Amino acid sequence: MRSAGPSEYAIEADWNALLVDGEWTEGDETIPVEDPSTRETVAEVPAGTEADVDAAYEAAAAAQNDWAETPPARREGVLTDLVQAIESHRDELIELLAAEVGGSRIMGETSIQITLDHAREAATYPRRLEGQHKGSNISGKENVVERGPAGVVTVISPWNFPLNLSMRAIGPAVATGNTVVCKPATNSPITGGLVFAKLFEEIGLPDGVVNVVTGKGSEIGDRVAGHPESDAVTFTGSTPVGRGVAATAAENLATPVMELGGNNPHIVTADADLDRAVDAGVFGSFVHQGQVCISINRHVVHEAVYDEYVDRLVDRAEDLPTGSAHDPDTIVGPIIDESQRDQMLEYVAETVDAGATLETGGETVPLDGVDDSLVVEPTVLSGVDNDMPAACFEHFGPIAPVIAVADVDEAVAVANDTEYGLSGSVHADDEGTGKAIARRMNTGHVHVGDQPINDEAHVPFSGQRASGMGGFNSDLILEEITETKWISVQHESREYPF
């Protein structure tokens, strides 16, 4: 790809090209990429068409058999080389995340760490594709069960943590002999897609194994989700969109793998260590401006410690540095765009109208030289109940609604009173009590003595109810993107009834 500036990975580089079958193709029309901190257009990417989508799937399908037959050691080497490439471009990738999605330095470092974890785990997958040998009820028969790639894996990645959430699907797919078509979110086409095209090109991945098509979901989304060459569709995003993606994939009999929305509770009991509970609560609500599917959406706190917890949370929230993602001291940076910002501020206003108290925040933070700032103040709401908008909806912002409960039973009932079931956390007087509460919570994962934002590539990651279907990480993703084949061999003559 053409160089424009000192680095191919700088935001100033030329990103106006799709990668299909190893060829970079400029788009006739483009989509602007806006820096959420400055509100300036910092890049242009192609507005891909359905014809581009078709070409990408044709390339992936054509390349799949050869890639599946590539020795496991070679596929392992690709992922190992990818790890080295990511490490060598660490600072550039962090700067890209700041420019494209408003990621603070902490968000960028965390994203790189998780991305590398997923790439290293994926490097183990080629040697983990194990078959089985089964006995038979028929005399003289041998049963063998083989496991191989599903074929072409579709990766539809989100805008909030685009680098690592793309990697957790792309890496395993490539490692297991699948080929990939990646359609990144419109707000993060570079770090969610095009940057992987460059990384894989840099390490010499064969043409057609990974293809990236940027574009608007409203224009090409259905074709991507329902393409007849797609064998599995991985998606991370909101539940309403995910329902549509899953339905479209299922019409084509592709396996849908969905991580969807969350309404994650942070339970604090009467005897909990408040220092630890508040520390976790602050991080879990405000890291990356709360734009995390597994961030804390509701603080569910025993009434005996409620007032103290709220006071401490307010003090900490008001001390958090806010501002541009390009300032290394910033903790709470900009929201991705104005529609997301306006929605979350509307939830705050409606919650106050419903009787809650705005303890702090609830406004935007002015930035020098920026019209219509996207930075929202860290916000704490008290006197909240589960039916108020900031609590019952996934607000996806730096907002901490705090709900009072009388006992553990009520805390669990409040925590479970949602259609979602993604993540959660518990702080209790001891670990045994915390684990007992965790087992009663209807979520895919619960973290005792911590906060809900955890992702380790070797540990299964899935949601319950409206938070998704299927799962990522470890053996879960292996099951989703591979298929089994039963081969039997009749070694001896068999007698048939006719």
Backbone dihedral angles phi then psi of residue 211, each to the nearest 5 degrees: -125, 140
End-to-end CA gap in the chain: 66
Residues serving a catalytic function are: 259, 293
Alpha helices, H only, 298-337? 303-319
Cβ pair 258, 468 in contact under 8 A: yes
Query: What are 134's strand-pairing partners?
Result: 143
Q: Which residues of 66-82 are buried (b: 16+ CB within 10 A; e: fewer)?
A: ebeeeeeeebbbbbebb
CB atoms within 10 A of CB 51: 10
Rounded CA separation 447/441 (Å): 11
Instruction: Please give the single-letter amino acid code of residue 224.
Output: V
Collapsing DSSP to helix, strand or coil, 268 comes out as: strand
Collapsing DSSP to helix, strand or coil, 376 comes out as: strand
Q: Which helix (H) or strand (E) holds 220?
A: helix 217-225
Rounded CA separation 299/384 (Å): 10
Cβ pair 128, 201 in contact under 8 A: no
The strand ranges marked E within 355-460 are 357-360, 379-384, 399-405, 425-427, 447-448
Strand order through the sheet with 23-25: 23-25, 18-20, 210-212, 179-183, 152-156, 232-236, 255-259, 468-469
Alpha helices, H only, 354-494? 389-392, 408-416, 431-440, 474-481
Distances 259 to 224, 237, 281, 349, 485 between C-alpha atoms, Å: 17, 7, 23, 29, 27
